[in-house]
Structure 1
Amino acid sequence: MKRIAVFAAACAIALPVYAQTVATVNGQAISQEKLDQFVALLIKQGAQDTPELRTQVKQEMVNRLVAVQAAEKAGIDKQADVKQEIELARQGILVRALMADHLKKNPVTDAKIQAEYDEIKKEQAGKQEYKLRHILVKDQKAAEDLTASIKAKKVTFEAAAKKDSLDPGSGKNGGELGWGPATNYVPEFAEAVQKLKKGEMTDKPVQTQFGWHIIQVEDTRDVKFPELAEVKPQIEEMMRQQQLAEFQQKLIKDAKIK
Structure 2
Amino acid sequence: MIRSRTLLLGMALAGLCACGGKAPEVAAPETALRFAPENAVAVTVNGEAISEALLVRLARGRGLDLADARQREQALDLAVETVLLAQDAIAEGAISRPDVQTELDLARIQTLAARNLADARAGMKLGDEDLRSYYEKITARTGAQELHLRNVLYADEAAARAAVVPAAASGDFGAWMAGLGAAEGVQARDLGWANTTQLPPELAQAALELPDGGISAAPVQTRFGWHVFQRVASRPFSPPPFEEVREGIRKQAGDEFLEEKLAALRARARIERESR
TM-score grouping bracket, smaller chain normalisation: 0.5 to 0.7
Note the residue ranges of structure 2 that are not aligned, 5 or more in a row: 1-38, 152-162, 180-189, 220-225
Deviations 1:81-121 (A, max 9, x none): 32343233223322222332222222445543332112211
With over 3 angstroms needed to count, the CA separation of the structure-2 counterparts of 1:256 and 1:193, relative to structure 1, is closer
Q: Where does 1:175-214 land on structure 2 (aligned, <5 Å)?
A: 180-181=194-195, 191=206, 194-196=209-211, 206=217, 208=219
Indicate the residue corresponding to 2:132 in structure 1.
114
Separation (CA, whole Å) in 1 of partners of 2:105 and 2:241: 46
Distance in 2 of aligned mates of 1:242 and 1:235: 10
Matched with 1:225 is 239
Higher mean alpha-carbon deviation, 38-47 vs 99-108, is at 38-47
Number of equivalenced pairs: 206
Contact (CA 8 Å) 1:132, 1:216: kept in 2 or not? Answer: yes
CA distance in structure 2 between the partners assigned to 1:115 and 1:129 by the alignment: 23
Q: Which moved more, 1:81-90 or 1:71-80?
A: 81-90
- Distance in 2 separating the partners of 1:100 and 1:87: 20
Is residue 58–residue 79 contact of structure 2 (8 Å, CA) maintained in 1? no
Between stretches 55-64 and 184-193, larger displacement belongs to 184-193
Compared CA separation, residues 249 and 166, structure 1 to 2 (3 A): closer
Residue range with higher mean Cα deviation, 66-75 or 95-104: 95-104
Q: Distance in 1 between matches of 2:245 and 2:74?
A: 40
TM-score normalised by structure 1 residue count: 0.55
Within 5 Å, which residues of 2 pair with 1:81-100?
81-100=99-118
| Counterpart mapping for 1:69-148 below 5 A | 69-125=87-143, 127-130=144-147, 140=165
Q: Which residue of 1 aligns with 2:53?
A: 37
TM-score by length of 2: 0.52
| Aligned partners of 1:108 and 1:240 also within 8 Å | no
Per the alignment, in what secondary structure is the counterpart of residue 239 of structure 2?
coil
Query: In the alignment, which of 164, 170, 175 is matched to residue 165 of structure 1?
Result: 175
Percent of pairs with identical residues: 22
Amino acid at match of 1:244: L
Give 2:73's aligned residue: 55
SS of equivalent residue, structure 2 residue 176: coil
Aligned to 1:18: 40
- 1:44–1:116 CA distance, 2 compared to 1 (3 A): farther
Uncovered stretches (5+) of structure 1, i.e. residues with no partner: 1-16, 147-159, 170-175
State the distance in 2 between where 1:79 and 1:133 align: 53
Q: 1:247 to 1:47 in 2, by over 3 A?
A: farther
Task: For 2:193 and 2:258, locate their aligned partners in 1 and report how far apart those are by CA, in whole Å.
Answer: 36
The structure number with the bigger radius of gyration is 1
Question: SS at the partner of 1:166?
Answer: helix
How far has the Cα of 1:79 moved from its partner? 2.5
Write the deviation string for residues 23-67 of structure 1: whole angstroms up to 9, x where unpaired: x54xx1464xx3411243257768643323321210111111221
